[in-house]
């Protein structure tokens, strides 16, 4: 899952023409940590995910949709016989929903 998210973030960053250094500086983390997120070595926190989405001018769902697509394809192909990935996807969905509501409420205040 980390590799999918990192790859999606990298695609969006490159499309904007930003460097890893630029992203890391704006987010407030080291370039090495940012590179590990893009490479799927480190997990991304919801806080960092929210900062990345704001910086790239996309919604969190635009980043996380790669997970939904990948799992749906695997499920339809009969390749996913583990419920663990499904539960991870549900956890991520509810975490994203919570983050969206939190960000939205901050914008309304």
For residue range 25-55, list pLDDT tens digits in order.
999 999 999 999 999 999 888 899 999 999 9
Of 9 and 98, the structure prediction assigns the larger pLDDT to 9
pLDDT of residue 100: 75
The structure tokens 């630029």 sit at: 22
Token pair for residue 32?
A: 């090495």
Is 90's pLDDT higher than 60?
A: yes
Q: What are phi and psi of 58, to 5 degrees?
A: -135, 165
Token pair for residue 65?
A: 């949709």
Which of these, 1, 38, 41, lies nearest to 22 by C-alpha position?
38
Of 11-20, 84-93, 99-108, where does mean pLDDT reach its minimum? 84-93
Which of these, 64, 32, 26, 22, lies nearest to 46 by C-alpha position?
64
Q: Which CATH number fits the domain 2-108, given the four candidates 3.10.20.740, 3.40.640.10, 3.40.50.300, 1.10.260.40?
A: 1.10.260.40
Cα angle, residue 104 at apex, residues 100 and 105 outer, rounded to 5°: 120
Question: Distance between terminal CA atoms of the chain?
Answer: 34
Domain spans in the chain, listed from the N-terminal domain onward: 2-108
pLDDT of residue 6: 93
For residue range 66-84, list pLDDT tens digits in order.
776 555 555 555 555 556 6
Cα 90 to Cα 84: distance, rounded to the nearest angstrom: 10
The structure tokens 């969006």 sit at: 12
């Amino acid at each position: 899952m980390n590799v999918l998210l990192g790859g999606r973030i990298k695609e969006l960053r490159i499309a904007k023409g930003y460097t890893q250094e630029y992203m890391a500086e704006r987010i407030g983390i080291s370039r090495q940590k940012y590179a590990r997120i893009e490479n799927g070595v480190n997990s991304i926190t919801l806080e960092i995910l929210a900062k990345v989405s704001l910086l790239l001018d996309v919604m969190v769902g635009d980043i996380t949709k790669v997970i939904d697509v990948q799992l749906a394809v695997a499920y339809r192909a009969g390749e996913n016989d583990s419920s663990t990935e499904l539960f991870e996807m549900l956890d991520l969905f509810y975490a994203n929903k919570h983050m969206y509501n939190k960000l939205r409420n901050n914008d309304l205040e």
